[in-house]
Structure 1
């Protein structure tokens, strides 16, 4: 049990207005700007990777610069539509069944990363087939830049004072405005650091060391890396109140959704290693 002294020891939550700026009646929120910044910077980094043919198998990038420009719109639609639908299905289904109009209440809901991942995957499948692009190489390109969006998205969660962590007495715990009187783990910042910054650096280093030549390897590392980071942070993050802990124990929905992602990621990584080994023996 946290003491009164622990409450006073909590780091003050920075009172940042969720609205970045207003133009007349139009209010622009930091959350929306985070999505724009994440997609824009991911597009710029993707273009830089495609400008370096030596990073790719047979010195041939899987997309042209024009194609990645076209794809960014499909990716944005997949992220937003999938993220919203995923949140409804995974986290808020009962409330939506009771009130279907809640689907459109984006100001009183959320976005799910796993839903956004499914939406973006569908967009990639469609775009690759339509343009006869190597699917795993497209996945690898997107995986290289996806942590940028995760980083900005988690920072936006922090600014909004949402998705906070469990009560804690660590020196950097914060009392969030919507989290009651207890200081809590700033789990949004943990996720921004691990799922965003650290994962981005690791994947960029590996990509520029030549691992994009092995189709599926970067995708596997991204999936396994994200899932591992998410499962770890879930031990510090407060479960969604409408779900709580699953199976009457410590399991959360975030963990449950990340486990298949971890298995798929490890499978893709092992597959790429075996394919490379078989290719080396053939030579």
Structure 2
């Protein structure tokens, strides 16, 4: 019998209370958002209170402005993530059921849509307050990975966004639909790649440490656009790689397309996550390499 790791029995709810006949619960995913926002806030404050990190020894905004910026960004994440899921992954369904588009509590958020929402929100805030847009982008990019890591850990706890079936010894026997689908693919053995943990490590921990090191040890904020480029290229490469191990979205999986490819030609293809990651990689390389051509290498 193949070795596998049994999924830990962790409730998606940390605790719940009943008030006036209604149930209120704190979930791991909500806690991940809260802690991620707090970490991003503290990282941004620390950078803005260190003028020596910035060009001309001057931070682009005051530390007290960060709280206002976070409000804009939170709205960008929620609206962009939801609309991205609707447009990128299930447009036909939501065109037929437009009343469900705003039902965020039912699930369905897309990172790439959330990223676009953050970009629009940060650009709008910078435009309104006369802040350098590239410096704003560098600041935001440096603070994001911690939240990504926590979000992926919450995905794991919730037993969602699991990976493809595997017979590797670290494969995890997820419950529910994952077990049913996996059982059909592997018979009595049902284990999947813990792709949420792969993403937490690559998109969150590793990318976050790289950006912190660049910011504090290599003075990357002195080169506007560099942090932004490293984040975009780093996330794009990490997501592109993990897509080989992550179970594709159900709407793309058919008997004739078991790998869930959104684009296929001559036996090769890409998932939707990989397609959306390619522009990130290209744009990231542009911003990361552009400063090196204009200024001394870091």
RMSD value, Cα = 1.3
- The Cα shift of 1:33 comes to 1.4
Structure 2 counterpart of 1:281: none
Q: CA-to-partner distance for each residue in 1:23-59, whole Å, 9 max, x for gaps? A: 2121121111111111111111110111111111111
- Select 2:203's aligned residue among 195, 202, 205: 195
Q: Which runs of 5+ in 2 are unaligned?
A: 184-189, 253-259
Q: Using structure 2 for the length normalisation, give the TM-score.
A: 0.88
- Select 1:218's aligned residue among 227, 244, 254: 227
Greater helix fraction, Structure 1 or Structure 2: 1
Structure 2 residue 123 is matched with structure 1 residue 140: no
Equivalent residue runs for 1:150-189 within 5 Å: 150-177=148-175, 178-180=177-179, 181=183, 182-189=190-197
Structure 1 counterpart of 2:101: 103
Which stretches of structure 1, 4 residues or longer, exceed 2 Å deviation after superposition? Answer: 104-109, 247-250
| Greater mean deviation of Cα atoms: 15-24 or 106-115 | 106-115
Q: Using structure 1 for the length normalisation, give the TM-score.
A: 0.93
- For residues 231 and 206 of structure 2, the distance between their equivalents in structure 1, rounded to whole angstroms, comes to 11
- For residues 62 and 295 of structure 2, the distance between their equivalents in structure 1, rounded to whole angstroms, comes to 25
Q: Which runs of 5+ in 1 are unaligned?
A: 279-283
- For residues 166 and 198 of structure 2, the distance between their equivalents in structure 1, rounded to whole angstroms, comes to 14
- Select 2:87's aligned residue among 89, 109, 117: 89
Structure 2 counterpart of 1:269: 288
Kindly tell me the number of residue pairs found equivalent between the two proteins.
Answer: 272
Structure 2 residue 265 is matched with structure 1 residue 246: no
- For residues 196 and 170 of structure 1, the distance between their equivalents in structure 2, rounded to whole angstroms, comes to 24
Greater strand fraction, Structure 1 or Structure 2: 2
| Greater mean deviation of Cα atoms: 99-108 or 38-47 | 99-108
- The Cα shift of 1:277 comes to 4.6
| Greater mean deviation of Cα atoms: 106-115 or 143-152 | 106-115
Equivalent residue runs for 1:38-77 within 5 Å: 38-77=36-75
- For residues 159 and 95 of structure 1, the distance between their equivalents in structure 2, rounded to whole angstroms, comes to 28
* SS of equivalent residue, structure 1 residue 198: helix
* SS of equivalent residue, structure 2 residue 283: helix
